[in-house]
Amino acid sequence: MRRASPLFLLLAIAALIPGPPASAEVARVVVDRREDVLGGKEWGDVGAYEKIVGRIYFAFDPGNSANSAIVDLTRAPLNAAGKVEAWAEFMVLQPKDPAKRRGVAWLEVPNRGGKASLRYFNRASRSSLDPSAAADFGDGLLFTQGLTVVWVGWQWDVPEQAGLIRLHVPFARLSDGPITGLVRSDWTVDADTPVLYLSHRGHRAYAAMDPEDSVNVLTVRDGRDAPRRVVPRRQWHFIAPAEGADANRLTQISLDGGFRAGEIYELVYKAQDPRIVGLGLAAIRDVASYMKYELDSEFPVQKVVAFGVSQTGRFLRHYLYQGFNVDEKGRIAVDGMLVHSAGAGRGSFNHRFAQPSRDAHRYSAFFYPTDIFPFTSRTETDPLTGASDGLMDHTPEEDRPKVFFTNSGYEYWGRAASLIHTSPDGVEDVQPLPTERIYELASGQHFVGSFPPAEGSRMGDGPAYRGNPLDYLLTLRALAVRLVAWVADGTEPPPSRYPHIADGTLVPVYGLAFPRIPGVDVARVTEVAYRADYGPRFATEGIVDKQPPALGPAFPSLVPQVDGLGNGMSGVREVELRAPVATYAPWNLRVGYPAAQDELVDFLGTWIPLPANETERARTGDPRPSLAALYGARDDFMARVRQAAADLSAEGFLLPGDEPVAVSRAAAMWDWVQQHAGGQGE
């Protein structure tokens, strides 16, 4: 796009048009606040950063082929120019001196409206929706890299909380009236409660349209795969909260006598006015293009690296699958992606009555369109249905970004991650594309657990704790630097590291060689992806007609094999696994819950310290070696820790400056295990 003429700029200013001139897709940018970060603090050679907060206004062309995948876009209201409008909040942190900017944007797709990058990559000690204090910015790794850090809204249904970033989208209508359809909600109830919310995790809900409609059905069942029992209609009721964003809208249900702990409830109901959810995919695309191609951008760059974690990692997989990386002018939008902890999932990001917050776990949020074929980037054929497809099939090769897929051990258990690099029958390995790397963060849980263990996290009288403190964020920091260098400079990153069928490091659950530790039950189930039928219009029109879906056979879900301590053998093994003081299991069982105690707890792993000495080992009957037998004295342990940190650094999975952090954390773990085991070694 050509730079606007001086005369045009003067006319625009005279007309009081807010924001700079922009492309047709980003209609305008309004800056509400601009301030120096930490009073102008210098971040290495890059210098001071500024924070920009404001709103981005979009105008999408429903006739442009780049937008053809957006469900119901042709049923949206149009402005005078025939475009569909939406707008989003944004926040940007960029070097104040344009000459010191690297020209690379770190575009985080906000998970449920929040901000994760400063905690994940800057080692910030707290998360803030409006980072302002020193603790919010950490050591500034992203800043010393000279990156422009961007957050922009994409999700319409984020909770009503100040500081969360959302995308404000229109709803679809027919020419002769509103659109209606089926919506589904479900709940795993672990404590008796009088009321359930139709939304997921406090997000905005689709209200019930007519409480007396016969399609509204509530069922209850005793387990994940147990038969549903219909709750008589006279026993349950739609209700409206008295205040808040959903005041006077039918967004809750009550049950005579209350909802009972240990049960799974599921509601199918009729709603109207679906939001055009898929605009979120186009918004991320168009913000990337605005930064790269608009000459008058408020935050100009030459390259864009997108980051998504969990929900938004799945969002980025969905973005790739539906071919959104080419904008309305045929230009590549995103140049690189760090897709973290997404497993094999995509999500509810672009269908009628989609609820983007909904996910899928072994024992919650059941059977939503999350883990659906295809899973690998390469084209694969489903042997049962004959369907052939691949995650990258709908993005031309020249428009594909460089991608890191990173998953903790939990995603193999709770998010079916093995499917991203295995054939649909689970028999063969599938290699990533040359533009991709796959890294398993061995034995980690979905997010890094706290250390020392939280009070009350001990599981019964055994040695296990709920929550896994293995810290793979140091590796993610290194990978972020490697990915930016790959995108910006062409520097090759470390080779992929993940478990394989061929070498026996990826196995069925029944093949797991986990040690038999007294007092510790072992997981025997995983999340699985079903061949689910959402109705005849889902694949072609994005309309769900079957609620709940009909489930066909599941795809095989495999898990990483473990060593004699129960720790992952493959992938990137952190210092904690190379010099272990514990078993770091990426799964956790519902022991102590009111039902299904052999099922998985969402997101969490298990931490099982080793015996401190041989006396303790003999007393407990633990088959694992003691710390004394493994290392002898503390000094010997620390020497092994320092070597492990140096090795990780040499392999490209630890920044040299982070070696002391890893060493210090390992020392703290040794000391804690010794103290709480009551022994000092032998």
Whether residue 396 lies inside any domain: the answer is no
Question: In which residue are the tokens 């399609």 written?
Answer: 215
Whether residue 194 lies inside any domain: the answer is yes
Helix residue ranges, H only, 558-626: 575-578, 614-620
In angstroms, the CA 217 to CA 231 distance is 8
pLDDT digits (tens, 9 = 90+) for 595-624: 999 999 999 999 999 999 999 999 999 999
Query: Is 195's pLDDT higher than 60?
Result: yes
pLDDT digits (tens, 9 = 90+) for 132-146: 999 999 999 999 999
Average pLDDT over residues 211-217: 97
Query: Is 682's pLDDT higher than 90?
Result: no
Kindly list the distances between the CA atom of residue 655 and the CA atoms of 474, 482, 658, in Å, as whole numbers in the listed order: 8, 10, 5
Give the dihedral sign, CA 642/644/645/650.
positive
In angstroms, the CA 118 to CA 123 distance is 7
Whether residue 556 lies inside any domain: the answer is no
Strand partners, 33: 53
Q: Is the Cβ–Cβ distance between 644 and 578 less than 8 Å?
A: yes
Amino acid 172 reads: A
Average pLDDT over residues 259-270: 98
What confidence score (pLDDT) does residue 25 get? 86
Whether residue 422 lies inside any domain: the answer is no
Q: How far is CA 163 from the centre of its chain?
A: 20
Percent of the chain at pLDDT above 90? 93
Query: Is 4's pLDDT higher than 70?
Result: no
Q: Is the Cβ–Cβ distance between 344 and 372 less than 8 Å?
A: no
Q: Which phi and psi angles does 284 have, rounded to 5°?
A: -65, -45
pTM of the entire structure? 0.95
Whether residue 98 lies inside any domain: the answer is no
What confidence score (pLDDT) does residue 679 get? 36
Quick count: other Cβ atoms within 10 Å of Cβ 44?
A: 11
Q: Is the Cβ–Cβ distance between 166 and 245 less than 8 Å?
A: no
Query: Is 153's pLDDT higher than 50?
Result: yes
What residues contact 111, with CB distance under 8 A and at least 6 apart? Answer: 308, 309, 310, 311, 312
pLDDT digits (tens, 9 = 90+) for 553-575: 999 999 999 999 999 999 999 99
Query: Is 363's pLDDT higher than 60?
Result: yes
Whether residue 105 lies inside any domain: the answer is no
Query: Is 5's pLDDT higher than 50?
Result: no
Average pLDDT value for the chain: 94
Query: Is 590's pLDDT higher than 60?
Result: yes
In angstroms, the CA 334 to CA 302 distance is 10
Query: Is 10's pLDDT higher than 50?
Result: no
Query: Is 7's pLDDT higher than 70?
Result: no
Question: In which residue are the tokens 């979009």 written?
Answer: 58
Name which of 134, 114, 108 is nearest 123 in CA terms: 134
What residues contact 630, with CB distance under 8 A and at least 6 apart? Answer: 580, 610, 637
In angstroms, the CA 208 to CA 372 distance is 27
pLDDT digits (tens, 9 = 90+) for 636-666: 999 999 999 999 999 999 999 999 999 999 9
229 HSE (CA, 13 A, CB side): 9
What confidence score (pLDDT) does residue 21 get? 44
What residues contact 553, with CB distance under 8 A and at least 6 apart? Answer: 384, 530, 531
What confidence score (pLDDT) does residue 24 get? 56
Confidence of residue 3 (pLDDT cuts 50, 70, 90): very low
The total number of structural domains in the chain stands at 1
Whether residue 390 lies inside any domain: the answer is no
Beta strands in 153-250 (DSSP E): 167-168, 173-174, 177-178, 180-188, 193-197, 217-221, 229-230, 236-239
What confidence score (pLDDT) does residue 23 get? 52
Whether residue 392 lies inside any domain: the answer is no
Domain span at residue 247?
180-272
pLDDT digits (tens, 9 = 90+) for 415-444: 999 999 999 999 999 999 999 999 999 999
What confidence score (pLDDT) does residue 471 get? 97
What confidence score (pLDDT) does residue 284 get? 98
